[in-house]
Chain A
Amino acid sequence: MSQTVTTLTPATHLLARNPGMALDMDWVARVQANTSAIERRAATLPGRRSVKKAYQAAWLAKAITLIDLTTLAGDDTPGRVRRLCSKARNPLRPDILAALDLPPLTTGAVCVYHEMVPTAVAALQGTGIPVAAVSTGFPAGLSPFHLRVAEIRESVKAGAAEIDIVISRRHVLTGNWQALYDEMCEFRAACGEAHVKAILATGELGTLRNVARASLICMMAGADFIKTSTGKEPVNATLPVTLTMVRAIRAYHTATGIKVGYKPAGGISKAKDALVYLSMIKEELGNRWLQPDLFRFGASSLLGDIERQLEHHVTGDYSAGYRHAIG
């Protein structure tokens, strides 16, 4: 039985979880994010970094292992979720995999609503692929607080290994950082052994400075991952937001030695875009963050484009969508 490449990476799952720290408002107040400068860096990066040929193929294969294959629709059914899980287990056609000389891959996780957790857990039994549940009144996070905490517990009980919580945007917009910190601490505690990803809904936070400060506070409160968006905001993951958040992760790591993960979600649907994201992570955080325990793409249609690009790499001819199994 060959190992998956994901598990070949020695560091995976050996990482200490983020224990958090006391709220340091001096630090939070010092945080700056100059929008124009951040946009310039983000805009020039694709011109500065480029991966071609075998390198591009390897990077795209890596990207597959970093995808939280996601369905978050009102019409999700067990059948739909089982189909998605099947795709998560076999994201790439075996002949393409063989041509690339890669062992079997899986996606990083499957991400669903609470009601679909048992189905997903059953469908992924024995694969090692974790199930992530969006939680805490996703996407708006405005249900009663005790219900939001209870929702986390229910999802953990149902078998979710990762919980994607949404923060209360109003705490950021009103500058109530203490409330944001307290809320995040409670969510983290409710997760228990499950890893917690803090969704900032960056498209609703108004400024990149707010994004940077909210990132830092969620990490201080013990988030294992910080995540851009629910995918339901008008603007979701962008490169400037990513740069702002990964710089916060770097600052937190410098100060505490703790590595926090990053998940851009929504709006990343092209293989080319995925490569830019990976190069930004590599540049700003380093190679260690290019593993599924520290980086995920929250995406539903990205995988299809990667499959087409990889077939093109293998055959030299451009591919077609129907040649690859749907999820």
Chain B
Amino acid sequence: MTTREIFDTMDYGPAPESDAEAHAWIAAKGPAFGHYINGSFTAPGETFATKNPATGVELARITQGTADDVDSAVKAARAALPGWSGLSGHKRAKYLYALARLLQKHSRLFAVLETLDNGKPIRESRDIDVPLAQRHFYYHAGLAQLLSEELPGHAPLGVCGQIIPWNFPLLMLSWKIAPALAAGNTVVLKPAEYTSLTALLFADICAEAGLPKGVVNIVTGDGKTGEAITAHPGIAKIAFTGSTEVGRRIRQATTGQGKALTLELGGKSPYIVFDDADIDSAIEGLVDAIWFNQGQVCCAGSRLLVHESIADDFHTRLRARMDKLRIGDPLDKCIDVGAVVDPIQHATITRLVDANTEGETYRADTPLPTSGCFYPPTLISGLSPAAPLMQEEIFGPVLVSTTFRTPSEAVEIANNTRYGLAATVWTENLNLALDIGPKLAAGVVWVNATNLFDAAAGFGGVRESGFGREGGWEGLLSYLKPTAKTVQSRPIDPTPAPKHVQAPDLDRTAKMYVGGKQTRPDGGYSQPVWSTKGALLGHAGLGNRKDIRNAVEAARAATGWAKTTGHLRAQILFYVAENLSARAEEFATRIRHLTGANAKTAETEVAISIDRLFTYAAWADKFDGAAKSVPIRGVALAMNEPVGIIGAFAPDEAPLLGAISLIAPAIAMGNRIVLVPSHAAPLAATDLYQVLDTSDLPAGVVNIITGDPAELAKPLAGHMDVDAVWSFCARAPAIVIEAASASNLKRTWATDGANPDWLGADGQGKRFLRAATEVKTIWIPYGE
């Protein structure tokens, strides 16, 4: 076009970013790449092509990592571990600082390479991905510096296997590597097979930074390589970001291996617009929510919920906005939506959308390139929660929408999902926003904004969006373990029946405790409980899976407990302690009979139980959240929210104290608990419900199911309305608990009986409080 013609059309024209430097780097280092192991690149092995999705042209060849490759990488990482973890925090901070600086110095090369390999617009890789990656290394340089002072009593986990997705290749690498290194771990990282190049460039800058060899190892390859990492016995922790499907497979594959695990998985995040919102801004927010990175974002606001009274106007304006989106060459600086990562992903999006028969489908009226992997921005309105597309993650530029009438209905629809990653709320009413935020099942909530990220603010999900947080101190803790000693307790069998039965004066039957009522076991079986001297102390019910079901239902009905104030929960816990104290002698006697302990030991257990109740009564209103220093005008509130319903297997040892050590932190933080007490000594726990009944504890907050943990492990850990399972009982082993937990990807804490000393300080504290809470980050930009 001539200048004169453009003068009249006022078109944008092409504004291409040069890819010459990126191609030069590929040519110089490749074009076939090996792995980066022990500080140098290996010779390429069997390779596959990595392509530019915008053109389909091959960029480079990437080595398919074998189990042997993974093994070499793990060996290198293990060898590097003592040196790296032995460095002072300051020395590790210096390396992380160097990595941050090098990311800055090579920022455009990283951005262009990312866009070439992934298809995202250069605007995003240049203005969002790369700056956030730099910020992550800066922030974690600081955490490394402060770690020993701020988190004493913690040690690195060891070698971390990290598997990252293709949607934010460099950024996810940063989210994984920076905290792992800050905490003193070494790393074997596998980038996604579609997008390995920026990880390989990162390997380059690790060398430039003089990072000790073996601290960071990059092994490329597809899912099979990931499986080799997951299975490797030399790895202490798996950190995975990707689909819920693969996350579930990793959960299953790692069961019983003693590996720490964090999963950041899929989502179908609600985007709620109330009638008093700044509508144009809320619409612009949707551009950042679902047409950012072609909608290939785990926390994409993909489910629009609009107040019915403004829905028509909102959708009309939204469609007009969609028509203004520019789709095309991702390297063009004037493009909003680039290429979908791969033809396979394009086919998946197409299949999901084409299968939909409901609502009204609108595709942006904007030109689409004739070749390359492009999908038009799409809106499917008028759906109901029952429509498959309201539930399934599409992972593409496709927004689905519905309407609501009231704030409570908005919450109900928003939470009607298996996922719980992020949520967005638009309203000019602060009361409404701050009321809704805590009610949403999500790890991250954005108020009048969307897709805000920062290294200081925790990111991660609840439900099937995974567990663990990335960013902030809470993210760092996912790469540390306490140095406290554990004691391997041996399973204690129930005392066998004596040859000569001494029947009690009066029959004593301990029932189960469900929903504040004493209930008989569903199966109609009971076990006699003998004292160590052969006296029949009474019977305890043998619980089965239906008892578990009933207990979980009762716990679900007690949802109101989560909304009580910390002050109220503190009062009740103090009161439980007071009432237990009044019956201390009786409980001590019970413990003596059940365990054969001497009087002093039994009295000590009761005394420490009362002390422990006081500890968590004290914490109930003091486990404060935080206001994070994020680089915006606004606050990011990190709120400690209860996990929900916790299933817990008490330790065999210390039958009263063990149970209280689990019940107290759980309910102090607002959770409900279904407790399976010591199988050998159940009566210490069942006696407790009389104390609870007299202490104003609402029905359903604590439920006690007696029985054989080996029988109850699977139904409790597999129950999909249970949010976390703790097992301190070797009869409910990690391998069973973790495998069953994959049903809804609940968080687990299973020790196989390697327990803290319940009588000591390690039997309580922040570790328990953290397990009983999820950090929800609520972003509230402000300004008038």
Footprint of B on A, CB under 8 Å?
Answer: 5, 8-9, 32-41, 44, 47-55, 57-59, 61-62, 100-103, 207-209, 247, 278-279, 282-283, 287, 290
Contact = CB atoms under 8 A, between A and B. Distances in A.
Contacts of A102: 3-4, 7
Contacts of A287: 9-10
B276 A32 contact: yes
A32 B4 contact: no
Contacts of A100: 3
A36 B449 contact: yes
Contact of B3 (A47, A48, A101): A101
Contact of B127 (A8, A38, A47, A49): A47
A49 B121 CA distance: 12
B281 A8 contact: no
Nearest to A55: B13
B327 to A, nearest CB: 13
A203 B456 CA distance: 34
A247 to B, nearest CB: 5
16 contacts: A5-B4, A34-B278, A34-B448, A36-B634, A36-B782, A37-B285, A48-B123, A51-B12, A51-B334, A54-B1, A55-B11, A58-B4, A62-B10, A101-B4, A102-B3, A278-B10
Contact of A61 (B7, B277, B285, B781): B7
Contacts of B784: 35, 207-209
Interface centre among A208, A247, A283 (most CB of B within 10 A): A247
A63 to B, nearest CB: 11
Nearest 3 Cβ contacts at the A-B interface: A55-B13, A58-B6, A37-B281
Contact of A47 (B123, B428, B448): B123
Interface in B726-784: 781-784
B15 interface: yes
B634 A9 contact: no
B2 interface: yes
Contact of B6 (A34, A44, A55, A278): A55
Given A5-B4, A47-B123, A247-B280, A32 B428 contact: yes
Nearest to A33: B278
A205 to B, nearest CB: 12
Nearest to A209: B784
Contacts of A8: 8
B7 A49 contact: no
A47 to B, nearest CB: 5
A53 B278 CA distance: 37
B281 A50 contact: no
B276 A37 contact: no
Interface centre among A34, A49, A55, A59 (most CB of B within 10 A): A34
A50 B633 contact: no
Nearest to A282: B10
Contact of A36 (B4, B8, B279, B633): B633
Contact of A41 (B127, B284, B333): B284
Contacts of A57: 3
Interface string B310-335: 00000000000000100000000110
A247 B282 CA distance: 13
B517 to A, nearest CB: 50
Contacts of A40: 449, 781
Contacts of B324: 283
A98 B278 CA distance: 47
A36 B781 contact: yes
Given A36-B448, A37-B278, A9 B8 contact: yes
B4 A34 contact: no
Contacts of B285: 37
B14 A52 contact: yes
Interface string B413-453: 00000000000000010000000000000000000110000
A287 B10 CA distance: 7
B590 to A, nearest CB: 60
A280 to B, nearest CB: 12
B278 A32 contact: yes
Contact of B783 (A36, A41, A53, A279): A36
A55 B278 contact: no
Given A8-B8, A32-B279, A51 B13 contact: yes
B193 interface: no
Interface string B267-304: 00000000011111110110000000000000000000
Contacts of B5: 58
B334 A39 contact: no
B324 to A, nearest CB: 6
A49 B334 contact: yes
A8 B9 CA distance: 12
Contacts of A48: 123, 334, 336
Contact of A32 (B14, B15, B277, B782): B277
Interface in B662-706: none
Nearest to A8: B8
A292 to B, nearest CB: 13
A100 B4 CA distance: 8
B121 to A, nearest CB: 8
Given A32-B278, A47-B126, 14 more contacts: A32-B277, A37-B284, A41-B281, A51-B13, A54-B3, A55-B12, A58-B6, A59-B6, A59-B10, A62-B10, A101-B3, A209-B784, A282-B10, A287-B10
